[in-house]
């Protein structure tokens, strides 16, 4: 055996697994295999209440920046929320993983991934009792998706930008192409990340247009300076997810985690909070692939069920509202109490929260909203497209 645990992919999900496992049992030998170099120029952020205290403790070495509070801006109102916010960067995450003596990282592409081993592009076979697949590809065949596309540019400003806390959404910008907002993270008094984000129906990102919008936003605030980093994202927004079918098809293989397992927030497309929880599930099960698969599958199916309301909100956002009207839904949402907003991002809405979000003057036509109630029609579409494996899916559904 080459390790106790092989992590295929060294992105967010598997890096968090490495940290959680190393924190819980430093004697468990981990081999992380990634096709790319460790520091890829990403930023991953989370709202502080997304994590419990234990998670915050083992993630702390990977946190590059944290802020007390955040703001949102809409045309009709602005608001400061008390909620803390924090970011990991590729460098800080890779550094935290590299500091774990039990983790070895190698650069290789896995051409074949199975429950017992992987075959790399260098014709090596690497074996471990447990193999985890965190290669990042979203299981689109099992989902109905909209998209959140963005370009982020990090500027080193010539003068202080005078921002102290993140702006999670500045939606006072023209709404062409879908719900559009600008997101800013002030890393230092001169360093700031500015992202132009759009909720769109297609996965098409117009890099030049988004970059120009970032430039215009910065110029309007008098922020000028050198671009030090750029990132682009095409994040899935889940309107429907056939999780039972996905897990039925994955059975017998390596343990899928992260985006690969559809483990992300259906509305925001963010995966960090769920990745932290899955990391703890893996750390708590020091067994072989079959044992870890069963534990992660149990967690993921329960989570997929809990997320059904969030997928309904995604359908409201993308199906019930015309692209230029989508802002109204978020505007309506951000008038709700801080604690509810926190529970939304953490994926822990209560039944009362769910009712509260829908109460009041509806931001979309009622008939459109009613047409979005059911997820099943979208699931049927997805099943038809990939050829429906009836018996396996029914068995999974009954197991729920």
Ligand X SMILES: Cc1cc2nc3c(=O)[nH]c(=O)nc-3n(C[C@H](O)[C@H](O)[C@H](O)COP(=O)(O)OP(=O)(O)OC[C@H]3O[C@@H](n4cnc5c(N)ncnc54)[C@H](O)[C@@H]3O)c2cc1C
Specify the length of the chain in residues.
Answer: 400
Q: Does 214 bind ligand X (CB under 6 A)?
A: no
Q: At closest approach, how far in Å is the CB of 84 from ligand X? A: 14
Output the CA torsion sign for 197, 382, 12, 265: positive
Q: Is 8 in the site for ligand X (CB under 6 A)?
A: yes
Does 147 engage in binding with ligand X (CB under 6 A)? no
Q: Which stretch binds ligand X (CB under 6 A): 38-46, 219-227, 357-365, 367-375?
A: 38-46
227 vs 321: CA distance, rounded Å: 35
CB 116 within 8 A of CB 127: yes
Distance CA 64, CA 179 (A): 29
Residue nearest to ligand X (CB): 11
Applying CB under 6 A, among 231, 303, 324, 353 the residue interacting with ligand X is 231
Q: Which of 32, 28, 29 is nearest to 10 (CA)?
A: 32
Listed ranges 216-224, 270-278, 299-307, 389-397: which one lies at the site for ligand X (CB under 6 A):
270-278
Which one of 3, 6, 13, 267 is in contact with ligand X (CB under 6 A)? 13
What's the distance, Cα to Cα, between the start and end of the chain in Å?
A: 35
Half-sphere exposure of 64 (CA within 13 A, CB side): 18
- Write out the binding residues for ligand X, residues 71-90 only, by CB under 6 A: none
Shortest spacing between CB 391 and ligand X, in angstroms: 29
For the sheet with 125-127, list strands across it. 110-113, 117-120, 125-127
Say whether residue 139 binds ligand X (CB under 6 A): no
Element (H, E) at 78: strand 78-81
Asked if 55 interacts with ligand X (CB under 6 A), we say no
Q: Near ligand X by CB under 6 A, which window of 33-41, 53-61, 205-213, 373-381?
A: 33-41
Q: Is 166 in the site for ligand X (CB under 6 A)?
A: no
Rg, Å, the chain Cα set:
21
The CA angle 163-169-174, to the nearest 5 degrees, is 110
Among 235, 243, 316, 318, binds ligand X (CB under 6 A): 235
Under 8 Å between Cβ of 203 and 190: no
* Residue 92 contacts ligand X per CB under 6 A: no
Whose CA is closest to 231, among 129, 90, 346?
A: 90
Q: Closest CB to ligand X among 139 and 178?
A: 139
* Residue 342 touching ligand X (CB under 6 A): no
Within 94-123, the residues that bind ligand X by CB under 6 A are 109-110
At which residue do the structure tokens 């109490």 appear?
337
Question: Which residues share a beta bridge with 193?
Answer: 154, 185
* Interaction between residue 45 and ligand X (CB under 6 A): yes
- Rule CB under 6 A: say whether 258 interacts with ligand X: yes
Name the minimum Å distance from CB 40 to ligand X: 7
Alpha-carbon dihedral angle through residues 124, 130, 135, 139, given to the nearest 10 degrees:
130
Q: How many of the chain's residues bind ligand X (CB under 6 A)?
A: 31
The answer to whether residue 393 forms part of the interface with ligand X (CB under 6 A) is: no
What b/e string do you get for 122-143 counting C-beta neighbours within 10 Å, with b at 16 or more? eeeebebbbbbbbbeebbeebb
For position 20 contacting ligand X by CB under 6 A, the verdict is no
- State the nearest-atom distance from the C-beta of 66 to ligand X, in Å: 13
User: What is the nearest approach in angstroms of ligand X to the Cβ of residue 177?
Assistant: 18
Select from 3, 12, 214, 283 the one that contacts ligand X (CB under 6 A).
12
Q: Is 141:240 a contact under the CB 8 Å cutoff? A: no
The residue ranges that bind ligand X (CB under 6 A) are: 8-14, 33-36, 42-46, 109-110, 134-136, 231, 233, 235, 258-260, 269-272
């Amino acid at each position: 055996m080459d390790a106790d645990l092989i992590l295929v992919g060294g992105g967010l999900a598997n890096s968090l697994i490495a940290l959680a496992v190393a924190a819980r049992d430093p004697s468990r030998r981990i081999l992380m295999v990634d096709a790319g170099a460790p520091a890829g120029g990403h930023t991953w952020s989370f709202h502080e209440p997304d994590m419990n205290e234990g998670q915050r403790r083992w993630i702390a070495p990977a946190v590059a920046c944290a802020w007390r509070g955040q703001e949102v801006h809409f045309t009709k109102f602005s608001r400061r929320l008390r909620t803390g916010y924090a970011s990991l960067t590729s460098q800080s995450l890779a550094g935290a993983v590299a500091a774990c003596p039990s983790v070895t990282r190698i650069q290789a592409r896995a051409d074949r991934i199975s429950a017992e081993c992987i075959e790399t592009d260098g014709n090596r076979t690497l074996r471990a009792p447990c193999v985890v697949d965190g290669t990042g590809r979203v299981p689109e065949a099992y989902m109905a998706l909209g998209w959140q596309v963005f370009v982020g540019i990090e500027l080193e400003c010539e003068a202080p930008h005078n921002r102290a806390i993140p702006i999670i959404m500045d939606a006072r910008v023209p709404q062409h192409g879908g719900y559009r907002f600008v997101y800013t993270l002030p890393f230092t008094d001169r360093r700031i990340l500015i992202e132009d984000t759009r909720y769109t129906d297609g996965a098409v990102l117009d890099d030049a247009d988004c970059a120009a919008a970032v430039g215009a936003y910065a110029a309007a605030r008098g922020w000028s300076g050198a671009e030090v980093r750029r990132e682009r994202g095409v994040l899935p927004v889940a309107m429907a997810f056939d999780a039972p079918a996905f897990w039925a098809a994955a059975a017998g293989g390596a343990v899928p985690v992260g985006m690969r397992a559809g483990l992300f927030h259906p509305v925001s497309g963010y995966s960090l909070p769920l990745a932290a929880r899955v990391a703890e599930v893996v750390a708590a099960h020091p067994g072989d692939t079959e044992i870890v698969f069963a534990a992660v599958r149990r967690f993921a199916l329960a989570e997929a069920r809990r997320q059904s309301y969030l997928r309904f909100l995604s359908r409201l956002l993308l199906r019930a509202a015309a692209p230029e009207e989508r802002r109204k839904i978020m505007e309506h949402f951000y008038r709700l109490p801080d604690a509810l907003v926190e529970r939304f991002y953490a994926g822990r809405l209560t039944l009362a929260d769910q009712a509260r979000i829908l109460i009041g003057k509806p931001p979309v036509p009622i008939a459109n909203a009613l047409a979005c109630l059911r997820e099943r029609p979208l699931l049927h579409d997805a099943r038809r497209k990939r050829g429906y494996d009836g018996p396996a899916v029914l068995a999974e559904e009954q197991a729920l």
